[in-house]
């Protein structure tokens, strides 16, 4: 029998490490191939998924206020840009912006998004960067001495462990000539609202979660039977986070990369965390990473927050 073709060595290494661990995990960054990125955009349109429409409303309502933090001639650098839909609200409010740098791990999706933005904003320099924002990012050299404003919407920061979130904020703080960081964070609220947002009745979030197994089958030659796993969202009150899991519905073995991974019935693969914040908790992380909370903008229900961070001296 021919050896399965491994198209993505980094994915193979990451998946083997996570699935050999106890408990089993997969890194959520691998959600975002072309299919995963498309499914996530579908999730953002669901009635149950309040974060996108709530954050979008805040950005629209506060666009003029946010624009005051972006100097003329600056570059807006977006981490994990996806379809850049919310970004257009800022771009429309920033006629003196010099450049927009969408940064995303999905090269094909990023290229298509950048082409659409160039057509919509022909006078703006659009410079996409394919990168994992959890690693050191090399920005275009033309931006070295230009003022920069970072943009990280969608509460993606909540997918990170607190120490990793702080490290990311520190790396952005150290880009040089950074004037501000516009950051979206989902806020703590009743658990039922949270669970519905991550386990919709239509099954779109389930398809998004299961797609990571399909990606392993396609890119590293794994033999996951997707119908032997089910999606589950859990609220972890102690850690203030929603957890996404893939539950093995039977005892089974999966092979890839020369390894055999055994699953017991009911065993979980922990695929993602989405931490929910309070004003106090996001302030604590920001201050430890060299930022000051300048503004905390929220909606009438206080379900979501858009923070404006400005650089400060690092704590002694």
316 within a domain of the structure (yes/no): no
3 within a domain of the structure (yes/no): no
Domain of residue 303, CATH code: 3.40.50.150
Same domain, 182 and 306: yes
Q: By 3-state DSSP, what share of the chain in percent is helix, strand and coil, each rounded to 5?
A: 40, 25, 35
Same domain, 118 and 185: yes
Task: Please report the pLDDT score of residue 85 as a whole number.
Answer: 84
1 within a domain of the structure (yes/no): no
Task: Please report the pLDDT score of residue 37 as a whole number.
Answer: 85
209 within a domain of the structure (yes/no): yes
Other beta carbons less than 10 A from residue 44's beta carbon: 18
Q: Are 290 and 303 in contact (CB under 8 A)?
A: no
Task: Please report the pLDDT score of residue 5 as a whole number.
Answer: 63
Task: Please report the pLDDT score of residue 41 as a whole number.
Answer: 87
Same domain, 78 and 208: no
H-state helical runs in the chain = 9-20, 34-43, 50-61, 63-67, 87-92, 107-120, 162-173, 191-198, 204-220, 279-288
Q: Is the peptide bond before 23 cis (omega within 30 degrees of 0)?
A: yes
2 within a domain of the structure (yes/no): no
Q: Are 308 and 58 in contact (CB under 8 A)?
A: no
Same domain, 107 and 229: no
Same domain, 264 and 220: yes
Same domain, 89 and 104: yes
User: What's the pLDDT tens digit per position in 208-235?
Assistant: 999 999 999 999 999 999 999 999 999 9
Q: List the beta bridge partners of residue 248.
A: 229
Please tell me the total count of domains within the chain: 2
86 within a domain of the structure (yes/no): yes
Task: Please report the pLDDT score of residue 316 as a whole number.
Answer: 41
CA-wise closest residue to 307 among 165, 113, 121, 125: 165
pLDDT along the chain (316 residues), means of 10: 69 98 95 90 94 96 97 96 88 96 88 94 95 89 94 93 94 94 98 97 98 97 98 97 98 97 98 97 95 97 98 67
Same domain, 281 and 252: no
Same domain, 269 and 120: no
| 44 contacts: CB under 8 Å, gap ≥ 6 | 51, 52, 85
Tokens of 150: 């970072």
Same domain, 181 and 213: no
113 within a domain of the structure (yes/no): yes
Task: Please report the pLDDT score of residue 1 as a whole number.
Answer: 40
Same domain, 96 and 160: yes
Same domain, 126 and 201: no
271 within a domain of the structure (yes/no): yes
User: What's the pLDDT tens digit per position in 295-306?
Assistant: 999 999 999 999
Tokens of 134: 């959890």
CA-wise closest residue to 244 among 82, 33, 43: 43
Q: Are 142 and 69 in contact (CB under 8 A)?
A: no
Q: Which domain holds residue 127?
A: 62-189+277-311
The whole model's pTM is what? 0.88
Same domain, 98 and 204: no
């Amino acid at each position: 029998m021919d050896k399965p073709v491994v198209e993505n060595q980094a994915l193979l290494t990451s998946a083997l490490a996570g699935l050999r661990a106890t408990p089993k995990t997969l890194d959520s960054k691998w959600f975002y191939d072309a299919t995963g990125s498309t499914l996530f955009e579908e999730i953002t349109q669901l009635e149950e998924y309040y974060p996108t429409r709530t954050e979008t409303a805040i950005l629209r309502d506060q666009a003029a206020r946010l624009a005051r933090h972006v100097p003329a001639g600056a570059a807006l650098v977006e981490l994990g840009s996806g379809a850049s839909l919310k970004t257009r609200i800022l771009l429309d409010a920033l006629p003196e912006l010099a450049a927009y740098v969408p940064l995303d791990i999905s090269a094909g999706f990023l290229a298509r998004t950048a082409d659409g933005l160039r057509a919509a904003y022909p006078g703006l320099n659009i410079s996409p960067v394919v990168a994992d924002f959890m690693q050191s990012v090399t920005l275009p050299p033309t931006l070295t001495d230009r003022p920069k404003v970072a943009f990280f919407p969608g509460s993606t920061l909540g997918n990170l462990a607190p120490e990793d979130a702080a490290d990311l904020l520190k790396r952005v703080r150290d880009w040089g000539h950074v004037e501000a960081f516009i950051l979206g964070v989902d806020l703590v609220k009743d658990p039922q609202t949270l669970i519905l947002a991550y386990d919709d009745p239509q099954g779109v979030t389930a398809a998004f979660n299961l797609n990571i197994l399909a990606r392993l089958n396609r890119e590293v030659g794994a033999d996951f039977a997707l119908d032997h796993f089910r999606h589950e969202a859990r609220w972890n009150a102690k850690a203030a986070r929603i957890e996404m899991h893939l539950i093995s519905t039977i005892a089974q073995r999966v092979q890839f990369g020369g390894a055999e991974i055994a699953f017991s019935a009911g065993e979980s693969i922990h695929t993602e965390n989405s931490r929910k914040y309070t004003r106090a908790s996001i302030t604590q992380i920001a201050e430890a990473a060299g930022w000051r909370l300048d503004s905390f903008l929220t909606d009438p229900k206080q379900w979501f927050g858009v923070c404006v961070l400005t650089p400060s001296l690092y704590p002694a």
